Structure 1
Amino acid sequence: MTRSEHHRPEIVVGLVATPPDYPARVVARLATELADRLAERVDADVRWTVREGWGEVAPRRTGGVEALLDDLARRRTDDRWDVAICLTDLPLHTERVPLVAQTSVRRRVAVVCLPALGLRQLRAVRAVVPDLVSRLLTNAPDVRIPPAGWSPAELAIRVAAIRRVVDTGDGDAGELRYVASRLAGRVRLVAGMVRANRPGRALLGLSKLLVGAFGTAAFALTTNTIWQMGDALGALRLAAIMVLGLAALVAWLIVAHDLWEKPDNETSPELARLFNLGTTLTLTLATAMSYLVLFAGTVLAAALLIDTSVLEQTLQRPVHIVDYLNLAWIISSLATVGGAIGSGLEDEKTVRAAAYGYHPEPGGWRDERDG
């Protein structure tokens, strides 16, 4: 039987999103259910209060996870939280392997690297955060809740992304790093970065590019020289043209909108490489999705506008659906290059949102500190 509400001790858990962009979305969803999960997993005789907060829009890149832990500890003290958990989309490393999470009992804070959790980040966070809170409180020790009753290694079993638990060597119990494997962990990290960067947002941000590509495709449909080219080129050459067109478009977007991250005093070469990889993959997925939309629209337009008899007269042979698909294929590939002109008309902030290291001022999120 639980104690009465009046006598139940209260523990305040702060959730901080840094930067307040994609991590804030995860925090918002987690905050609605974390108190119930803590009651179920940690202690039902405690009144769990969960607070949401923003971290820096441009979090410090120097100092790695220790800098984040220091900033988080100051926030915890200022807001009088019992413990604080930071969710970040910065790709963190330790000893050249991806860092999934790190706890600091001395500071009563922990950091979780969302990209290191892979694609199913919310599900993994639901498993990780209650255990981290329990570890921070019971290792302190905090007399308000009983000992955790589980070893840190059990978290590695519960969360697929975690492969090892490493003592930081600071001499304090609970100063632990949860790390991923070197190879599979890096693949998971990159996939998680693309997930956090939201290719769908990049696709919506390139609407003028798609409109420009459709305009180019519509003009090309009226040119019988393109019909003959589509008939003469084999599948291998059409595929090569498609790949070259998409690669040229991605390169143009990166160069024209200055999306390439350069190493400097604040950004290490390793971090810059990861940011550029995340940006390139995000744009690749976004342009590939726009290409599929363009291809489907071109097939439909070709079927409506080009009569079979007219196409047969030009090609001097019977035509089939494959001929229309090949025609749409070459036109879509050429139109992607024309669409690059349309991308130059996009709002700069809209296009820059595809850059992994770029974080705009947040909109629609409210820090509880602000009332």
Structure 2
Amino acid sequence: MATNDRRRREIVVGLVATPPDYPAQVVARLTAELADLLAERVDADVRWTVREGWGEVAPRRDGGVEALLDDLAQRRADARWDITICLTDLPLHTERLPLVAQTSARRRVALLSLPALGLRQRRAVRAAVPELVARLLADAREERVPPAGPALAGRVAAVHRMVGGTDAGERAYVASRLAGRVRLVAGMVRANRPGRALLGLSKLLVGAFGTAAFALTTNTIWQMGDALGALRLTAIMLLGLTALVAWLIIAHDLWEKPDPSTPAELARMFNLGTILTLTLATAVSYVALFAGTLLAAALLIDTSVLEQSLERPVDVTDYLMLAWIISSLATVGGAIGSGLEDEDTVRAAAYGYHPEPGGWRDEKDT
């Protein structure tokens, strides 16, 4: 068996993650199984070798897709790989449509935009990458590998159609205009990992709990909760959450500004991803704060004491309203706590920000 393996033609496929943050996690998982997937879906008579690497921490934005493909081709040539596939979290567009993937037979490279795949990205990546490899080999007229089987659109739900010149081997796979944009935005939030932003706001939550604990001892707040209706409490809650998100963006300079290296459209997409990530993280924090405040109110405020303050019988609804107003007010107090957070921890919620990972310089030099 070992002798047969040595006699088989070897094709080296390089997987590059750029930036080396979330895409690197996807690449690491895919590398372990890609050789088997290629043997199963492309050609079992080829000895597939898969290599992984990191792309730039701050990939080129000004040149769009072509700049990324050029950089990827140089990386392929330097590493002496046969085919290179790049996984990126950049939200890319072509012909005003979300770009899911693009292949370049001339460069022998392809890229796959993770956000365009939507929420179930890792399953889509497993389906898409073997098809991209097969398409590149077929377009490059590799006679030892048969042409790609089912079209990428048949494998990946995000792909709506293919655009570009098929004769030149430059193919772009795009999503639909409406559903594709919705999937792209959802995929950006998924790629930005809201859980990381939530954990990064721990001091904010602690500060909010401290504010809520103080408010629970003030009977004036009890009376305010009783006097305000559900409509005004909803408005207070929304204003508090909006103010918190705005404060986080302003205080920690999370707003992406257009410049010569970042087109305005890309900056808008980055800012949208940041806003949605922070909104989701703060909304989950608010739910946790509400649950904690409700529990504390039930334990600390006796029903008879609350009835004496409100001058009427009370039930569980009154405790819910009390927790509601206190949580909304404490959310604003929690913004003060957010100023104590580590700068890098909070900036991780910015879509365009990617910290330099450990080992980056060594891997790059290698």
Relative to the length of structure 2, the TM-score reads 0.97
CA distances 1:325-365 after superposition (whole Å, capped 9, x unpaired): 11000000000000000000111111111011111111478
Q: Structure 1 pair 260/168, CA: closer, same or farther in 2 (3 Å)?
A: farther
Q: Partner of 1:274 in structure 2? A: 269
Shift of 1:296: 0.6
- 1:253 paired residue among 217, 237, 248: 248
Q: Partner of 2:154 in structure 1? A: 157
Shift of 1:5: 1.4
CA distances 1:135-159 after superposition (whole Å, capped 9, x unpaired): 11122112332333x36xx211221
What fraction of aligned residue pairs are identical, expressed as a percent?
A: 81
> How far apart are the structure 1 equivalents of 2:78 and 2:2?
31
> How far apart are the structure 1 equivalents of 2:108 and 2:264?
31
SS in 1 for 2:308: helix
SS in 1 for 2:269: helix
Counterpart of 2:241, as a letter, is L
> How far apart are the structure 2 equivalents of 1:2 and 1:104?
34
SS in 2 for 1:218: helix
SS in 1 for 2:14: strand
> How far apart are the structure 2 equivalents of 1:321 and 1:44?
66
> How far apart are the structure 1 equivalents of 2:185 and 2:136?
29
> How far apart are the structure 1 equivalents of 2:230 and 2:3?
72
> How far apart are the structure 2 equivalents of 1:36 and 1:364?
28
SS in 1 for 2:15: strand
Q: Is the 8 A contact 1:24 1:365 kept in 2?
A: no
Shift of 1:234: 1.0
CA distances 1:275-308 after superposition (whole Å, capped 9, x unpaired): 1110000000000010011011101110111111
Q: Partner of 1:46 in structure 2? A: 46
Q: Partner of 1:98 in structure 2? A: 98
User: Is 2:233 the counterpart of 1:208?
Assistant: no
Bigger drift between 98-107 and 155-164 goes to 155-164
Alignment RMSD (CA, Å): 1.7
SS in 1 for 2:255: coil
Q: Partner of 2:300 in structure 1? A: 305
Counterpart of 1:99, as a letter, is L
Bigger drift between 156-165 and 14-23 goes to 156-165
> How far apart are the structure 2 equivalents of 1:125 and 1:140?
22
SS in 2 for 1:98: strand
Counterpart of 1:106, as a letter, is R
Q: Partner of 1:62 in structure 2? A: 62
> How far apart are the structure 1 equivalents of 2:184 and 2:66?
19
Relative to the length of structure 1, the TM-score reads 0.95
Q: Partner of 2:73 in structure 1? A: 73
SS in 2 for 1:5: helix
SS in 1 for 2:4: coil
Shift of 1:46: 1.2
> How far apart are the structure 1 equivalents of 2:189 and 2:145?
39
User: Is 2:129 the counterpart of 1:166?
Assistant: no
Q: Is the 8 A contact 1:199 1:282 kept in 2?
A: yes
CA distances 1:90-117 after superposition (whole Å, capped 9, x unpaired): 1100111100000000110001010001
Shift of 1:366: 9.7
> How far apart are the structure 2 equivalents of 1:6 and 1:209?
58
SS in 2 for 1:43: coil
5+ long unaligned stretches in structure 2:
none
User: Is 2:228 the counterpart of 1:243?
Assistant: no
Q: Partner of 1:226 in structure 2? A: 221
> How far apart are the structure 2 equivalents of 1:367 and 1:132?
29
Q: Partner of 2:82 in structure 1? A: 82
Q: Partner of 1:15 in structure 2? A: 15
Q: Is the 8 A contact 1:2 1:44 kept in 2?
A: no
Bigger drift between 254-263 and 218-227 goes to 254-263
> How far apart are the structure 2 equivalents of 1:366 and 1:9?
33
> How far apart are the structure 2 equivalents of 1:79 and 1:86?
14
User: Between Structure 1 and Structure 2, how many residues are aligned?
Assistant: 366
> How far apart are the structure 1 equivalents of 2:108 and 2:181?
28
SS in 1 for 2:152: helix
> How far apart are the structure 2 equivalents of 1:346 and 1:284?
17
